[in-house]
Amino acid sequence: MIKSPQQIAADAGPPKASAITAAVERRVLTDTVVLRGTVSPGKTIEVTPAAGGEGKAVITRRTVKSGQRIKAGTVVAEVSGRPVIALHGAIPAYRDIRPGANGPDVRQIQKALRELGYSVDEAEAIYGPSTQDAVRRLFADRGYSPTLTLPEPDPADLAGGRKGKTPKPSTPRKAPMVKAGEVVFVPEFPARVTEVKAGLGDEVKGSVVTLAAGNLAVRATLSAADRKLVSSGKLVKILSEESGLTLPGRIASIGAFQDGGAEGQGATLPGYPVVVEGGRNLPERLAGQDVRLTIETASTNGKVLVVPSSAVYATADGSTQVMKMGPGDRQQRVAVTTGATGGGFVEVEGDGLSEGDRVVVGEK
């Protein structure tokens, strides 16, 4: 019944440490890349009316508001009494289209007019009488008159007539033209008004309205280390903490490495720009939100032998080993060669180590 002070101290002390073990597994080793991204439109179009010929260019009527969804044919701005009409097309308006003009921009406006229900009879890419009449009705249906201009003179008339004959005098009639600043081409409808930059009576100085077309996408930046693990086509989990939504996505593209922007110049981190598409899964209310992207990437082509990273240690001679737990809790050192890592595990190869063995990962 009597114990020495040393025995009492030993009984009160902590028990002898025992090993914590984990199983050696065979699995496809995966790694998870997590980054932040911003939900933004697939394409942004700036509506920039052309400067007026006389006086100041000012907003004379507000026709759309921020957040509004618009269709083809909508007047998105009115500047000095003249409209800016949104039409379907991929080529930006780069010139005034006058009677007799031809080219891809003429073909585009003919297609846009037909989509709105206007009849265009002449050959493709020629701005002739039928297309001019359709333009006249396009403007009239929206309460405006098209800008009129004289047709380009015939080169033969300028040369003194055909075959030496004196041309008959005639009074040319003015015909409708399409001014570059009175139409804006949008690649996909319906589009959304993301920003109205000028109010009623404001003088026009550059863009007055910003439109967003196409499905929403998430734009983010991959670090150099993560770029090695991620490729186009990878599935992505998109999480909006603000709304609680978790949505599927896919990496659409990964750009070339870019240096980060300096502070005050839209500061961004250096890395590889990546675009994640969610198709029609991304609702409009997510536009502008900061979201979390989780990308699970396969690090091995097939199943490999893996152990927890904490099981691997380096020895004084430079070798890498694990401590294998044998019968009767006997511990045996096993030299291994490590490979890919991911998810807290590391690929290993070593004689005497197989699936189902247990290795020491710590003590308790």
What is the predicted pLDDT for the residue at 324?
A: 95
143 near 61, Cβ under 8 Å? no
Domains and CATH numbers, the chain: 5-30+300-363 (2.40.420.20), 31-41+214-299 (2.40.30.170), 48-213 (no CATH)
Specify the pLDDT at position 299: 76
pLDDT the model gives residue 2? 82
CB of 215 closer than 8 Å to CB of 192: no
Burial class (CB in 10 A: 0-12, 13-18, 19+), 97: buried
Q: What is the DSSP letter of 263?
A: T
If you search the block for the tokens 């978790």, which residue do you land on? 246
Q: What is the pLDDT of residue 301?
A: 80
pLDDT value of residue 322:
95
Peptide bond into 190 cis (omega under 30): yes
Residue 267's pLDDT is 53
Helix (H) or strand (E) holding 113: helix 104-115
Q: Does residue 357 contact residue 20 with C-beta atoms inside 8 Å? A: no
pLDDT at residue 364, as a whole number: 72
State both tokens at 238.
């998109």
| Residue 234 Cα distances to 60, 96, 231, 237, angstroms | 49, 44, 6, 10
Q: What is the pLDDT of residue 158?
A: 46
Handedness of CA 326, 330, 336, 340 (dihedral sign): positive
List of residues 6+ apart from 160 with CB closer than 8 A? 166, 167
Per-residue pLDDT tens digits of the chain, which is 364 residues long: 787 887 777 666 666 667 899 999 999 888 889 999 999 887 889 999 876 566 789 999 999 999 899 999 999 999 999 999 999 999 999 999 999 899 999 999 999 999 999 999 988 889 999 999 999 999 999 999 999 998 766 555 545 555 555 555 556 689 999 999 999 999 999 898 989 999 999 999 889 999 998 888 999 999 988 888 889 999 999 999 999 999 999 999 999 999 876 555 445 678 999 999 987 778 888 888 999 999 988 778 889 999 999 999 998 888 899 999 988 889 999 999 998 888 889 999 999 899 999 999 988 7
* Sign of the torsion formed by the C-alpha atoms of 226, 231, 235 and 238: positive
